[in-house]
A and B are shown apart, each in its own frame.
Chain A
Amino acid sequence: MIQVRGVTKRYGRVTAVEDLSFDVPDGRVTGFLGPNGSGKSTTMRIIVGLDRPDAGSALVDGRPYRDLPWPLREVGALLDARGFHPGRSARRHLQALARAGGLPASRVEEVLDLVGLGAVADRRAGTFSLGMGQRLGIAAALLGDPPTLLFDEPVNGLDPEGIRWVRTLLRRLAAEGRCVLVSSHLLAEMALTADHLVVVGRGRLVAETSMAAFLEQYAPARVRVASPEVDRLARAVLGAGGRVEPAGEGRIVVSGLHAAAIGELAHAEGVVLHELSPDQAGLEEAFLQTTAQAAEYRGGAA
């Protein structure tokens, strides 16, 4: 359980985070969502005691990070993709961390295997690809088998296979009852991973809600539909109160109805569907507009 309470952080005259409060519960993946530069990384560094807030506090299981008796056994964090010396091997890097954290040396081999770096563990980490570097960072975060985990943009620079691996890992960690906070600037990525959302814009809280509720509230109900009998389906959609735009041969874009409702209509009408997909690009756009508006509105009021 992470509790952020009224945190404000300024760098000179720039306010990176302003009066930010939210909770990160156990047993769920909490997405920390916001455009680049909205204060996500700063907040994460404050949670683990690397940066000092100008006001407010951040607690992990009720205590400031600095007061944790066994920090690595309690919190794991991936903060940047290149948090290691390029001349040091992955194994030595993890061994040093294990020694500092009072962890048995066998843990190093366990996490190396877990992230799939066992075969390259003795290579200089500077020769690693971005994806391997991320895996090393994840190995370091998992070293102490901690109940609380923070990942700052963990899928940045990963290939599709790596992205899927991270997604699965995050969900698994949460399913084991751990508290997992993952930042991203991509709503579509979060939609696939997170159950709970903390949305920030310009350092301020925009929303703290469940993923489903957020999508319900902010996503435009635009759904792409393809069907060999698209005209018959369009009539049914109009009859159910939806709006239809043609989108080429055998395709329409429906607004005002959710994908599930359209699927049920198609079933009732006996129409075959070839595609039924919520408009992700539109989702991303709506999210960016929402965060920008929220931030400007509050910025203007201040």
Chain B
Amino acid sequence: MNGPARSDGLLTGALRDAAGRRRAASPPSLGERLGRALAAEWTKFWSVRSTVVALSATVVLSLAIDALATATEAAHWHQQAPFSRLTFDPTSLSLTGLLFGQLALGVLGVLVVSAEHGTGTIRGTYLAVPQRWLVLVAKALVFGFVALVVGEVCAFAAFFLGQAILHGTTPTATLAQPGVLRAVAGGGLYLCVLGLLALGIGACVRHSAGAISTFVGVLFVLPLIDQALPSGLRDTAAKFLPATIGAAMTAVRLTPEQAGEAFSPWVGFGLLCAYAVAVGLLAAWLAERRDA
């Protein structure tokens, strides 16, 4: 359907040729579609204030809690029992702030999807890209990339800040020591994948408040429930908790007690990735089935 050439408005413009006819375009490949969805998600991600607020909160919380934890340890070092001194892990301690940073980053992950449902923006998104799983993949790639960068920045900054605070009082760690680089980089990886898990939860639940509650429940309420289990079951179940996985990933060496109830760092990381993928697949399946 081609309209006649006119110069007064609608029938001119970037999508028309000089005669006012629509320019033809060949069907886009899957790669082109993904590229367009990525560009759109990138634009949306950076054009709301909540992104900058949540990313800043992630960094500030990580570093502030890190400073508090390391300063407290340094202040009490002279009172520590010999066994505690022996098992002291300065790397792990300097990464405790990530436990709070993960909250802010997770909330952002949830909002990347749930805010679109809350505001109705998702309809425009799906009108432009009717392949809903593609929208989800694009969101995960954009958020995952930013979460990885911010997560690693937080982990390394927290590590160096923590070691600087501990310096002169307690033993400190350097990246050259065995396992330290793995633990610090692992802290950033953990934040990134946990954020993606939150994004998946946001896509499944769709309501911001409900999704954030679910995410916080997974992080902080599941461990409490675990504590209420019979002791035999408790240790086995605890291994599977994201919080346990995170603690193991950010530790250079585990106390014998910890080692008994945690997977090794990389196994734990694989498990966390499997959680994120499983929730992501569920979200994609639900998105294709549900009304928007």
Taking Cβ atoms with an 8 Å cutoff, the residues of A that contact B are 26, 45, 48-52, 65-66, 68-73, 75, 77, 79-80, 82-89, 92-93, 95-97, 99-104, 106-107, 110, 114, 140, 142, 144-145, 147, 172-173, 176-178
Contact = CB atoms under 8 A, between A and B. Distances in A.
A177 B11 CA distance: 11
Interface in B30-46: 32, 36-37, 39-41, 43-44
B10 A71 contact: no
Given A110-B14, A145-B22, A178-B1, A84 B47 contact: no
Given A72-B127, A100-B129, A177 B15 contact: no
Nearest to B22: A145
B119 A82 contact: yes
A68 B128 CA distance: 10
Contacts of A102: 25, 28, 32, 36
A95 to B, nearest CB: 5
A32 to B, nearest CB: 18
A224 to B, nearest CB: 38
Contacts of B9: 114
Interface of B: 1-3, 9-11, 13-16, 22, 25, 27-28, 32, 36-37, 39-41, 43-44, 47-50, 115-116, 119-121, 123-131, 289, 291-292
Given A70-B25, A110-B13, A114-B9, A97 B36 contact: no
A176 B10 contact: yes
A49 B130 contact: yes
B1 A147 contact: yes
Nearest to B15: A145
Contacts of A107: 13-15
A95 B40 CA distance: 8
B119 A86 contact: yes
A114 B10 contact: yes
A45 B124 CA distance: 11
A102 B35 CA distance: 9
A-B pairs with the 3 shortest C-beta distances? A100-B40, A100-B128, A69-B27
B22 to A, nearest CB: 7
A50 B291 contact: yes
A97 B10 contact: no
Contacts of A86: 119
Contact of A52 (B37, B127, B291): B291
A95 B43 contact: yes
A251 B121 CA distance: 53
A83 to B, nearest CB: 4
Given A50-B292, A96-B40, A99-B40, A77 B127 contact: yes
A92 B123 contact: no
25 contacts: A45-B123, A49-B126, A50-B127, A70-B27, A71-B129, A71-B130, A73-B25, A75-B127, A82-B120, A83-B124, A85-B115, A85-B116, A88-B47, A89-B47, A92-B44, A92-B47, A96-B40, A97-B40, A100-B39, A100-B125, A101-B36, A103-B14, A140-B124, A176-B11, A177-B1
Q: Which of B37, B116, B291 has the most CB of A within 10 A?
A: B291
Nearest to B126: A50
